[in-house]
Structure 1
Amino acid sequence: MREVLVVVGPGVAADAALLGEVAEREFAALGVRGAVRHVRDAADLPTVADGVSLVVIPGPQLRAPLGRPVVRVDVERADRVEPGPGVAHIHGRGIAGVAWGIRHAVHRTRHPARRVPYGPERDQWGELYLPGDVAGVPVVALVHGGYWRSIWAADLMDALCADLAGRGLAVWNLEYRRPDLHGWAATTADVAAGLEALAGLDAPLDLGRVAVAGHSAGAQLALRAVADGAPVALAVSLAGVLDLVEADRRWLSAGAVSAALGGPAAERDRRVGRRDQYGAASPLLRLPLGVRQLVVQGAADDLDLVDFGRRYARAAVQAGDEVTYLEMAGDHFDVITPGTPIWQATAEAVTAALT
């Protein structure tokens, strides 16, 4: 049983009892021993023994320890924080970020991965998980969602990495620059470059058996990369945002599409540049992809996403693509939660397609 210590710095604007409740729920769910400790200052930071995962909620007066494998959680948005080597940074997710931080701390201890940069920027990397010392392993590249906002990161896909590797598949969990800080062109370029980087990895991968799977906004990025020519055998949408024009018109996630692409879909009939951008980015407008596809959708998800998934799957078939549409009970996160029936069915379909 793994131990986790959550350290809370002075001045954190959160109810201490609530932080403890969130932490205790995660300890129980993950099957670990854990504790929450509040400290007065940096001098009060505890010495942590080997075998203990450390999560630090620093607050305004405490700098998280650098140069050691800790997870830093800022409940507020903290784009300018440089976490330092070996420090994972989760921020802007509110009190729920504490739960995500504990999950990530436990995950990276239980399932070590090799991080490989594909560019010089901080968010240009992927983490490679291998199922064992086996040659010619099929690969699943994962593209996380989060409505293209920088508070959401590759840790969203931690559980899928472990599940897929346990099924005998290699996993490439891709991080990329998000458009709220770096612009749409940077995001698109990073996903393409991250998928291309698979060919240069020093690993026993079978690049003829590659799937790319994206969740939510990540599905849009994944399918757009396939439309642009990424060489994959299977493209998977997990609760994907597949119709960007309607997603913007319906103000999905408080205008996330317009914010990401730099302008509303309503302008696409008046401005050639905007029309080209939506036309290039929306998977529905890029059909046919010419690649086998699996479109997965939880029936209890946002009804607009259910609508997008159904209409996209029909349009893709009509365009000549080979498409399997899988709709089952589940919400937006059930499709990336191992143990749920919808993920079990998805994983079995992906494994069957690649092996």
Structure 2
Amino acid sequence: MVALSAAVAFLAASCASADGPAEPSSSAGQSAVAAGVANEALVERAEPLVKRVSYPTRGQADPAQNWGDLYLPAGQHAAGSVPLVVLIHGGSWESQLGAEVMSSYARDLVDRGMAVYNIEYRRVGSGGGWPTTFHDVADALDHVVELNEQHPEFAIDDELVVGHSAGAQLAMWAGTRHALGDDEVGNRPRFRPTRVVSLAGPLDMRYAATHGDSRIVTVLGGGPEQVPDRYRSVDPIQNIDPNVPVVAVHGTADTMVAPANSERYIAAVKQSGGIGGLMLAEGEDHVSVVSDDSPWYARILDVIAETSDKTVDDLRDTHSN
């Protein structure tokens, strides 16, 4: 088991020997410039703000599912001064579970001074599946640019996405969409999170699909031999970006998504010279890692905060000092 401090230390140490992330997309960069111009204007808020926002989608949207909850912290904030965390819930890409799974994390992270965007999307059984689920997540992420124009106090140039279970796969995919080809779902992102935290994620989708995980086969419309292009496009272990810092958290008692998924993924990240850390939560199962009554809950919050609160350069400087 890698303890919290060791996981964060590994992330910092890895940053010291790897190149930083690529420059943000032009839209994100332009928003950052605009935020800099408005830097003298402070946003002051007595209480955290929570509001539901709809995001536009390609084709016809479903107002009941194409939305996100935006959380903004209390206090006084200059433009571009608040780190953003995007949350993507899991539930096997199916409709039984929704964004409420991540609400505890959202509330506790905003209380720590972060902006949080907790997204909902269409899933298998409610109009989703391939490719709609992936289009929705891409559209929800790209809407961050418009949200930032309304709320310039949060930054979007070097930010974090956190996902649980199926949402962890989507989070890892979100961090590497910039490398997708023109014919791939989710390409040309307007907003690019540049560091990722995976909670119990199926990060080696071919391995999981061939070891009994029928849910992956359902959402992608076939197994690795039937739809190999889809696996190549969205499977985290086949799309590692060595410059994107990642932390994988996995419960040792997880029988739904085997810890081997995270272990294999982080081993591949290290082999590629990438920036990554693994935290195995002793005794935790697939659901308990997102339960606020778990003994690991506060530690996982710390991992998210540490990964979000520092830029890659800050982590490099901290390690060198």
* TM-score normalised over the length of structure 1: 0.63
- Which residue does the alignment assign to 1:121? 62
Matching residue within 276, 295, 299 for 2:229: 276
- Which residue does the alignment assign to 1:141? 86
- Which residue does the alignment assign to 2:307? 353
Matched letter for residue 52 of structure 2 = R
Q: Distance in 1 between matches of 2:217 and 2:122?
A: 17
Do the aligned partners of 1:249 and 1:266 also contact (CA within 8 Å) in 2? Answer: no
Matched letter for residue 145 of structure 1 = G
Which residues of 2 match residues 169-318 of structure 1 at below 5 A? 169-180=114-125, 181-201=127-147, 202-203=150-151, 204-229=153-178, 231-252=192-213, 255-267=214-226, 274-288=227-241, 290-302=243-255, 304-318=257-271
User: Which structure features the higher share of strand residues?
Assistant: 1
* TM-score normalised over the length of structure 2: 0.70
TM-aligned CA deviation for residue 341 of structure 1 = 3.6
After TM superposition, which residue ranges in structure 1, 4 or more long, deviate above 6 angstroms? none
Do the aligned partners of 1:288 and 1:320 also contact (CA within 8 Å) in 2? Answer: no
- SS of the equivalent of 1:205 reads coil
Runs of 5+ unmatched residues, structure 2: 1-46, 179-190, 310-321
- From the superposition, tell whether residues 186 and 281 of structure 1 become closer, same or farther in structure 2 (CA, over 3 Å): same
- SS of the equivalent of 1:208 reads coil
TM-aligned CA deviation for residue 179 of structure 1 = 3.7
- From the superposition, tell whether residues 233 and 183 of structure 1 become closer, same or farther in structure 2 (CA, over 3 Å): closer
Do the aligned partners of 2:242 and 2:275 also contact (CA within 8 Å) in 1? Answer: no
User: More deviation in 281-290 or 154-163?
Assistant: 281-290
Runs of 5+ unmatched residues, structure 1: 1-109, 268-273
- Which residue does the alignment assign to 2:25? none
TM-aligned CA deviation for residue 304 of structure 1 = 4.8
Cα deviation, 1:227-271, whole Å, max 9, x if unaligned, reads 11252232010000111112111222xx1111111112232xxxx
- SS of the equivalent of 2:156 reads strand
Matching residue within 268, 271, 281 for 1:328: 281
Larger Rg: 1
Q: Distance in 1 between matches of 2:121 and 2:242?
A: 23
Q: Distance in 2 between matches of 1:215 and 1:304?
A: 11
TM-aligned CA deviation for residue 193 of structure 1 = 1.4
- From the superposition, tell whether residues 182 and 351 of structure 1 become closer, same or farther in structure 2 (CA, over 3 Å): closer
Which residues of 2 match residues 45-124 of structure 1 at below 5 A? 113-119=50-56, 120-122=61-63, 123-124=65-66
Cα deviation, 1:167-209, whole Å, max 9, x if unaligned, reads 1111100011114433311111111111111121122211134
Root-mean-square deviation over aligned CA pairs: 1.9
Do the aligned partners of 1:178 and 1:184 also contact (CA within 8 Å) in 2? Answer: no
TM-aligned CA deviation for residue 339 of structure 1 = 4.7
Higher relative contact order at CA 8 Å, sep ≥6: structure 1 or structure 2?
2
- From the superposition, tell whether residues 325 and 228 of structure 1 become closer, same or farther in structure 2 (CA, over 3 Å): same
Q: Distance in 1 between matches of 2:109 and 2:169?
A: 21
Q: Distance in 2 between matches of 1:184 and 1:112?
A: 34
2:297 matched to 1:343?
yes
